[in-house]
Amino acid sequence: MKIEKHCAENYRNLKKIEFEPADGINIIYGENGQGKTNILESIWLFTGCQSFRTHKCRELVKDNENKAEIEIDFYARNRKQNARMTIDTKRQVQINGIWQETPRSLLGEFQAVVFSPAALSIVKDGPSEKRRFMDIAISLLKPNYACLLSRYIKTMAQRNALLKQLSEKGGDNELLAPWDEELSHIGAKITDYRLKYIDRLAVKATDIYTGISGGREAVSLKYLQSFRIEGNTEKDIEEAMFATLEKNRQTDIRRQATSCGPHKDDLAIDIDSRCARSFGSQGQQRTCALAVKLGEASIIAEIGREQPVALLDDVMSELDCARQNYLMKYLDGWQVFITCCDPSVLSRADTGKTFEVENGQIKSTVGK
């Protein structure tokens, strides 16, 4: 997976940029607020996922402009491809000249992994951020997973509306049965996807963490469900979730909210059997986040049989020399985009190209 050319016009503070990155390491540097992260964000949008900074499309459009346009030429699946996106109050996408119904059509077409200081949220924040991480990671591999999530959210909203009605006006609790059945059916598929993904990610992250730490400590990942399951098949999950929803109906009516399901699940990340969030040092938490993100990248490379593009947003200065060296060694042979204020911190890297960004424009380019 390689980007051959990237263009952006009226995207956030980017006026009009066009550049051809190197196949290896690309350093994008400049002072804060000049547009470095905006370039990485505009590349990430071609994965088909939301921005890693906002859910509001209008925030992606330059002030006093009606729309933003971004485009990449990329090489994937042994052929050259093109993707274009127009952004105003929504995102509209073309793939190889053909308009798509939804940006989700890009899922699986162009794959990237983004590393940023916000990646620490996987370790430091609560269950919602961990669920968000899992959902994005799985969607990049299984495009239909995003559709399942959308169906689940809509079904849960309808169930919650009925819960509110039953709470305020009364009625037969059995009215919930069809919604419980549908929610359990979709929820079981989501949970099954997550369980299988975390099983695979746990192996990768454990190995990577051991490599970074020199074997001094061990990390472990475990998916935590909001209801008890006997067995490990999708059918077992569905039956267990339905039974729990049925059992909790009265409580759910009182609270006017659905009390169990994938929307309540969590991901445990432990170091030597102790919660990394509560007991890990800043360095240990950073190493956990790095191991998890590198594990994610590795799984994409294995399943897609192509290495995803790596987007490193202002993370190198947050890592010590040992972790920097491990990261660069791990990503050897990948196409990498690194943002930083001072390119000298990457003097040891075998740089392909260096781009200086100033006031929303690429001021200079060094490299071939």
Q: pLDDT tens track of the chain, all 368 residues? A: 999 999 999 999 999 999 999 999 999 999 999 999 999 999 999 999 999 888 899 999 999 999 999 999 999 989 999 999 999 999 999 999 999 999 999 998 999 999 888 888 999 999 999 999 999 999 999 989 999 999 999 999 999 999 999 999 999 999 999 999 999 999 999 999 999 999 999 999 999 999 988 889 999 999 999 999 988 899 999 999 999 999 999 999 999 999 999 999 999 999 999 999 999 998 899 899 999 999 999 999 998 778 999 999 988 877 888 888 888 888 888 999 999 988 876 655 666 899 999 999 998 788 75
| Domain of residue 175, CATH code | 1.20.1050.90
What are the DSSP E strand ranges found in the chain? 2-11, 14-19, 25-29, 68-76, 79-87, 91-95, 98-99, 112-115, 219-224, 266-271, 274-275, 309-313, 336-340, 351-358, 361-367
Domain count, the chain: 2
What pTM, to 2 d.p., does this model score? 0.88
Which 3 state secondary structure label does DSSP give 80? strand
Instruction: Identify the domain boundary among 305, 336, 360.
Output: 305
Task: Kindly state whether residues 297 and 322 are assigned to the same domain.
Answer: no
The whole-angstrom separation of Cα 32 and Cα 37 is 9
- Name the residue with tokens 């951020």: 129
261 and 146 fall within a common domain = yes
- Among 305, 326, 349, the domain-final residue is 305
Q: Give the residue numbers spanning the domain of 192.
A: 120-305
Categorise residue 131: left if φ over 0, alpha if ψ from -120 to 50, beta otherwise. alpha
**Where is the domain boundary, 282, 305, 328?**
305
How far, in whole angstroms, is CA 141 from its chain's centroid? 11
Same domain, 171 and 22: no
Q: Are residues 93 and 148 in the same domain?
A: no
**Are 228 and 244 a contacting pair, CB within 8 Å?**
yes
Q: CA end-to-end span of the chain, whole Å? A: 19
pLDDT tens-digit map of 9-49: 999 999 999 999 999 999 999 999 999 999 999 999 999 99
The residue behind tokens 């919650």 is 160
Neighbours of 170 (CB within 10 A): 9
Give the Cα-Cα-Cα angle 93, 95, 101 (nearest 5 degrees): 45
Are 251 and 258 in contact, with CB atoms under 8 Å apart? no
Residue 265 to residues 130, 221, 361: CA-CA distances in angstroms? 9, 14, 43
Q: Where are the beta strands (DSSP E) in 122-276?
A: 219-224, 266-271, 274-275
